[in-house]
Amino acid sequence: MSNVVALALRDLGGEGPPMLVLHGLLGSARNWLSTGVALAANGWHVFAADLRNHGASGWAEDCTYQAMASDVVALIEQQQWQSVYLVGHSMGGKVAMRVAMDRPDLVSRLAVVDIAPKVYANRVREEFAAMEALDLTKIQSRKEADQALASLVSDWAMRQFVLTNLQSLANGSWQWLVNRKALSAALPEIMGNPLVAGEVYAGPACFICGGKSGYVVEADWPSIQTFFPAAQRVILSESGHNPHFDSRGGFVDALGRP
């Protein structure tokens, strides 16, 4: 465990059993503030972590799922939680799958949000290239950064998501909060399958999918059930890849109560 990265943790409130949320690629715990309040109202004590190379957590060149899962295991043990309801979105969902396989004793329940245990095409190379191309020395405001990115990332919502990783400093300069170099180099790994044939997590699991997303399709379900034989499926028909934003009420209901 010598290469474990200490993860920044946000307490999003609530009482009851711990629920730990893991964000997706280029995300952070901040993405879960509003949804965390709603989940806390359902009886969970909700926490959200920044994964390595994201948010306020440390950086490391190793971006394998094994490494990211080891960070999460260390965090759970540090907090002295006997077990947690582990919720992971997109890349964080793959990390959560890996944690469940490695340390099922620490995972009381598992929820995987709009991702499957499979290899994906690289959908984010454009965003990384845009971040690399942005000259931060010429940026005076977030609006200027948005305008500079517009020709490289046409989708407004995606630009705003990318810009959540841009931070202004006290001296007026700007910096990215993510380790772009390590993450970009690791994209083949990040887009890969975190699991290997023969692994099984027999505990309760729920796969929450966006009906308009396309990240999880019907053909993925047999593989999911092979790895997670107790898995249940919830499809939020009006949601895209971010059910916690697009269909928050249905998403919170799908995660249930203690």
Among 22-31, 73-82, 139-148, which stretch is predicted with the lowest mean pLDDT? Answer: 139-148
User: Residue 216 belongs to what domain range?
Assistant: 9-120+194-255
Supply the pTM of this predicted model: 0.94
What Cα–Cα distance (Å) separates residue 159 from each residue in 54, 108, 129, 155? 17, 36, 12, 6
Helix (H, G, I), strand (E, B) or coil at 196: coil
- Asked if 151 and 209 sit in the same domain, the reply is no
b/e sequence 202-237, b meaning 16+ C-beta within 10 Å? ebbbbbbbbeebebbeeebeeebeebbeebebbbbe
CATH label of the domain that carries residue 240: 3.40.50.1820
Query: Which pLDDT value is given to residue 125?
Result: 73
Instruction: Give yes or no: residues 141 and 87 share one domain.
Output: no
Residue 243 Ramachandran class (φ > 0 left, ψ -120 to 50 alpha, else beta): alpha
Report the pLDDT value the prediction gives residue 157, as an integer from 0 to 100.
84
How is residue 15 written in tokens?
């009482």
Residues 208 and 92 reside in one and the same domain? yes
**Which element (helix H / strand E) includes 85?**
strand 84-89
4 in any annotated domain: no
CA atoms of 63 and 31, how far apart (whole Å): 21
Do 135 and 22 lie in a common domain? no
Confidence of residue 2 (pLDDT cuts 50, 70, 90): low
* Residue positions counted in the chain: 258
- The model's confidence at residue 161, banded by pLDDT at 50, 70 and 90, is confident
Higher per-residue confidence, 21 vs 137:
21
Task: State how far the Cα of 42 lies from the Cα of 227, in Å rounded to an integer.
Answer: 28
Single out the residue in 165, 185, 205 at which a domain terminates: 185
Residue with tokens 């170099």: 181
Residue 229 identity (one-letter amino acid): P
Whether 1 is covered by a domain: the verdict is no
Assess whether 116 and 204 both reside in one domain: yes
Compute the mean pLDDT over every residue in the chain, rounded to the nearest whole number. 94
Helix axes 33-40, 248-255, angle to 10 degrees: 50
80: left (phi over 0), alpha (psi -120 to 50) or beta: left
164/235 same-domain check = no
